[in-house]
Homo-oligomer: A and B are copies of this chain.
Amino acid sequence: MSETGIELGAAELEILRALWDVGPATVRQVMNHLHERGRDLAYTTVQTMLTRLEQKGFAVSNKADLAYVYRARVSRERMSRSRLRVLAHQLYDGSAGPLVLQLVRSERLTPQELAELQTLIERLDGKDRNTGRQRR
């Protein structure tokens, strides 16, 4: 019903994340990975989640001789963008500015990140000027 397009619960996202972190993996591998991170889920729970992820189009599986191997079908970046966009709409009518400001202000970025951000901004700044968009 909602326009979000992407509908994943927190636990499902956790599983998808495991796929991002370890790459293509079987149910057992995903489960083991989660156990290592202190997340204790039953084998079948992980299985259910992976199945649902596949049904929803966020993962694909193919049979490798012993068991099915699951692979993420959406990138972490894509998910990230999507979630951020939803958030921007939910809180600020779609504007991303406030979110960025919030993040930079309240979450400590590493010097590298700051530098990267810096150059990124300069590039955008330049483009805006060159493009002449809204030249008064």
Residues on A lying within 8 angstroms of B by beta carbon are: 2, 4, 10, 13-14, 17, 76-77, 79-81, 83-85, 87-88, 90-92, 96-114, 116-118, 120-121, 124-125, 128, 133-134, 136
Give the residue name and chain of the B residue nearest to A83 (CB): B87
CB distance from A83 to the nearest CB of B (A): 6
Copies in the complex: 2
Q: Is the CB of A117 within 8 A of B101?
A: yes
Instruction: Give Cα A59–Cα B33 distance, bound, in whole angstroms.
Output: 40
Contact flag A81-B100 (CB < 8 Å), given A14-B90, A114-B121, A128-B111: no
Contact flag A120-B103 (CB < 8 Å), given A13-B90, A84-B87, A128-B111: no
